[in-house]
Amino acid sequence: GEDVEQSLFLSVREGDSSVINCTYTDSSSTYLYWYKQEPGAGLQLLTYIFSNMDMKQDQRLTVLLNKKDKHLSLRIADTQTGDSAIYFCAEVYNTDKLIFGTGTRLQVFP
Amino acid sequence: NAGVMQNPRHLVRRRGQEARLRCSPMKGHSHVYWYRQLPEEGLKFMVYLQKENIIDESGMPKERFSAEFPKEGPSILRIQQVVRGDSAAYFCASSPRADSYNEQFFGPGTRLTVL
């Protein structure tokens, strides 16, 4: 079945690193994504990783993929208050729909 | 190039009324997806359409919900005889193609409140 799980909350101090974790079930997914949702807004694609990669870095963002364990993580370096939002991981299922995780609410405090 | 547009942004309906949600994809995108987000939950896939065709409606409730994407004009998600449980944010996304990459661009959503 299709199921993507995330922890619900993460609280970090400004300037620290944040690590958001995700587990997925569809081993045939070729791409995995991280989206950011700010209050009252739509989803913004942050980054993605292709399934034959195990790491991708994009400025302050680092994505790690452990395909054997079906585990995906997003690390945000030097977390800022503007990073406070809900973060969703998602996998492509059947090359059409995205299956989203439950979302992790990141709170950054000064 | 304008992004995905949805209207209205907020919609209030009484139980039993109809709700019509509109989505205009990005220019050049012929693939449209509708997702529903219940309060404090993630997004759930509802339906995937190409121009004039429904490709995958596996996430659509069997009754009261319908979707279309006509040759001209926006995609419409229609909910008949709304109930309180339909209160949610409805997001539309579009993409230029359907393949394994499938980057989907999301609209700002329509927040439906059923009284």
Residue % of chain A over a pLDDT of 70: 97
Please give the residue of chain A at the shortest CA–CA distance from B106: A43
What pLDDT, on a 0 to 100 scale, did the predictor assign at position B37? 93
Summarize pLDDT for A55-64 with one digit per residue, the tens: 999 999 999 9
For the segment B34-55, the average pLDDT, to the nearest whole number, is 91
Integer Cα distance of A77 and B15 in angstroms? 47
The 10 Å Cβ neighbour count of residue A94 is 15
pLDDT band at A93 (very low <50, low <70, confident <90, very high): confident
Task: Give me the pLDDT at residue B99, please.
Answer: 66
With a CB cutoff of 8 Å and minimum separation 6, the contacts of B93 are A43, A98, B4, B32, B33, B35, B104, B105, B106, B107
Look at residue A1 and tell me whether its pLDDT is greater than 60: no
Q: What pLDDT band is residue A26 in, cutting at 50, 70 and 90? A: confident
Q: Which residues contact A75 (CB under 8 A, 6 or more apart)?
A: A17, A18, A19, A20, A61, A62, A63, A64
> For residues B70-104, b (16+ Cβ closer than 10 Å) or e, as one string?
eeeebbbbebeebeeebbbbbbbbbbeebeeebeb
pLDDT, mean over chain B: 92
Q: Is B28 on the interface with A (CB under 8 A)?
A: no
For B31, which residue in chain A has the nearest alpha carbon?
A: A96
What per-residue confidence (pLDDT) applies to A21?
96
Paired sense of beta strands A5-6 and A55-58, if any: unpaired
Per-residue model confidence (pLDDT) at position A83: 96
- Please calculate the CA angle A109-A101-B37 and round it to the nearest 5 degrees: 90
Of A43, A95, A102, the CB nearest to B106: A43
The pLDDT of residue B107: 94
Chain A nearest-CA residue for B55 = A96
For the stretch A34-80, pLDDT in tens is 999 998 888 999 999 988 889 999 999 999 999 889 999 999 999 99
CB-nearest to A97 from B45, B101, B108 is: B45
**Confidence class for position B21, pLDDT limits 50, 70, 90:** very high
> CB contact, 8 Å: B41 with chain A?
yes
Predicted local confidence at residue B100, as pLDDT? 59
Q: What is the pLDDT of residue A2?
A: 61
Angstroms from B29 CA to nearest CA on chain A: 14
Residues of B in contact with A100 (CB under 8 A): 35, 42-44
Please give the residue that has the higher pLDDT: either B40 or B43: B43
Contact at CB, A42 and B99, closer than 8 angstroms: no
Write down the mean pLDDT value for chain A.
91
Per-residue pLDDT band at B20 (split at 50, 70, 90) = very high
Mean predicted confidence (pLDDT) in B14-32: 95
